Amino acid sequence: VLAIWHQLTKAEIPELAKCSVLMRDRSRVEDTIYAMQRAGAGRLQVISDFDMTLTRFAHNGKRVPTTHNILDHRLLIDEDCSKKIRELLNTYYPIEIDAGRTAEDKLPLMVEWWTQVHELLIQQRIRKDQLAQAVKESSAMLREGYKVFFDRLTEQQVPLLIFSAGVGDVLEEVIRQNNVFHPNVHIISNYMDFDQTGVLRAFKGQLIHTFNKREGALSHASGLRVLQGRPNVLLLGDSLGDLTMADGVSEHQNILTIGFLNDQMDERKELYVKSFDVVLVKDETMEVPNAILKYIT
Ligand code: TMP
Ligand code: MG
């Protein structure tokens, strides 16, 4: 019977047969997708990372900016600050993606990175009313097929939790300008705290970085009413740290994790295949998540 089922997904979700799609255990993936399809849209929630998961990694050979890097605009920060933020990126990003170090090992270094960048941003007295312009003039770009993804979840009334270690205010502006900031979208991120005159003075709440999403999941996501009664989770991420974003889902039944492997493909392939259920290698599109969603909702 199983063999017939498996041929079925091949026919119904041919996107899963592409050579850029890697799976440790294809039959587990298919069984999970079937279980989610039988339970339906009313039992589903989608939890996604933002930078380099919903946004592209690169376009025409050029890196697409993360929410932090969108702030690298003369309207908001001066040249000296921009230089320092880039130096920090060059120091810490290779550590973030280093397959030879554990998350535990990376954690204090990520705190160092985020803390220094946020302090530099605060010193610049960034103005809230200039964020939209900076986003507009940036090369921020969501993955191809993003509109189908957001629109389908809205139509099917499936909540989408975007869980990002980026900057929430910038993230919101990116999805607003792309016309997909729908009412079913919920965001957990680092939000800016502005004074009465609209000048950045701090970041709100506990810092979220790549490797402490589990804490945020337990303290924030688990309390979100709209996510309750939805035990099936489709999780999307590009970092191994993103795998903990669903840790706050109580009484989960089926979780399918999809990982975008954007960078250091050879070094990280094995680790990603071991960790995510579905790995998308150098895929700048939402084709596979969209095909799965179309099937299960
Ligand atoms: P994410 O959780 O939405 O993916 O956002 C975190 C990403 O932001 C992470 O992969 C590293 C990146 N980042 C920058 O690009 N520049 C920075 O200054 C910082 C602190 C993080
Ligand atoms: Mg990311």
Looking at this predicted complex, what is its ipTM? 0.99
The CA distance from 140 to 52, in Å, is: 10
Average model confidence (pLDDT) across the chain: 96
Cβ neighbours of residue 236 closer than 8 Å, sequence gap 6 or more: 46, 47, 48, 49, 53, 54, 242, 257, 258, 259, 260, 289
Query: Which pair of tokens denotes residue 92?
Result: 């810490």
pLDDT beneath 50: ranges in the chain? none
Nearest Cα residue to atom 13 of ligand 1 = 68
Can you tell me the distance from the alpha carbon of 214 to that of 248, in angstroms, rounded to the nearest whole number?
A: 8
Residues in the chain: 297
Reported as a single tens digit per residue, the pLDDT across 270-292 is: 999 999 999 999 999 999 999 99
Is residue 51 flagged as an active site residue? yes
Tell me which residues have their CB within 5 A of the ion that is ligand 2.
49, 51-53, 238
Q: Are the C-beta atoms of residues 122 and 77 closer than 8 Å to each other?
A: no
- With CA atoms as reference, report the closest residue to 120 among 86, 96, 97: 86
Respond yes or no: is residue 238 known to be catalytic. Answer: no
CA distance from start to end of the chain: 23
If one residue of 68, 70, 86 were mutated to test the ligand 1 pocket, choosing by the most ligand atoms within 8 A of its CB, it would be 68
Angle at the Cα of 119 from the Cα atoms of 132 and 190, rounded to 5 degrees = 55
Catalytic residue among 25, 31, 51, 238: 51
| Overall pTM surpassing 0.95 (yes/no) | yes
How far away, in angstroms, is 39 Cα from ligand 1 center? Answer: 35
Residue nearest (by alpha carbon) to ligand 1 atom 9: 210
Q: Which residues have C-beta atoms less than 6 Å from ligand 1?
A: 49-52, 66, 68-69, 85, 89, 96, 113-114, 117, 164-166, 210, 239
Contacts for 21 with CB less than 8 Å, ≥ 6 apart: 15, 278, 279, 280, 281, 283, 288
pLDDT of residue 11: 83
Q: Which of 31, 49, 193, 247 is catalytic?
A: 49
The pLDDT value given to residue 251: 86
pLDDT at residue number 223: 85
Q: What is the pLDDT of residue 1?
A: 52
